[in-house]
Amino acid sequence: MMRKFFIILILSYVIVFKMTSCAPKVKNGYSKEHGFEGNISLSGAFALYPLAVVWSEDFKKIHPNVR
């Protein structure tokens, strides 16, 4: 009896977790009308930061809707 209760409890937690953890669809990405949209973020080695800044500036020239 107790084991059945714990199995039902665990399944209930899993179902509630799965239903509440779904994120809404984000409209960032690529579309034929707008091209690329959204944000690009970087984290990591500071030594590559100047190179990443140059890349991002060139990418923004081609795709102005990306931040």
Q: Supply the pTM of this predicted model.
A: 0.47
Query: Which residues, in sequence order, are bridge partners of residue 35?
Result: 31
Number of separate domains in the chain: 1
**What confidence score (pLDDT) does residue 30 get?**
73
Of 8, 5, 65, 6, whose CA–CA distance to 37 is shortest?
65
> Could you write out the DSSP letters of every residue in 14-61?
HHHHHHHSPPPPP--EEETTTEEEB-----S-GGGHHHHHHHHHHHHH
The tens digit of pLDDT for each residue in 2-32 reads: 899 989 999 998 888 887 777 666 666 777 7
Of 2, 1, 4, whose CA–CA distance to 12 is shortest?
4
Q: Print the domain residue range for 56.
A: 25-67
Residue 34 lies in a domain: yes
The tens digit of pLDDT for each residue in 29-60 reads: 777 777 888 887 877 788 888 888 898 889 88
Residue 53 lies in a domain: yes
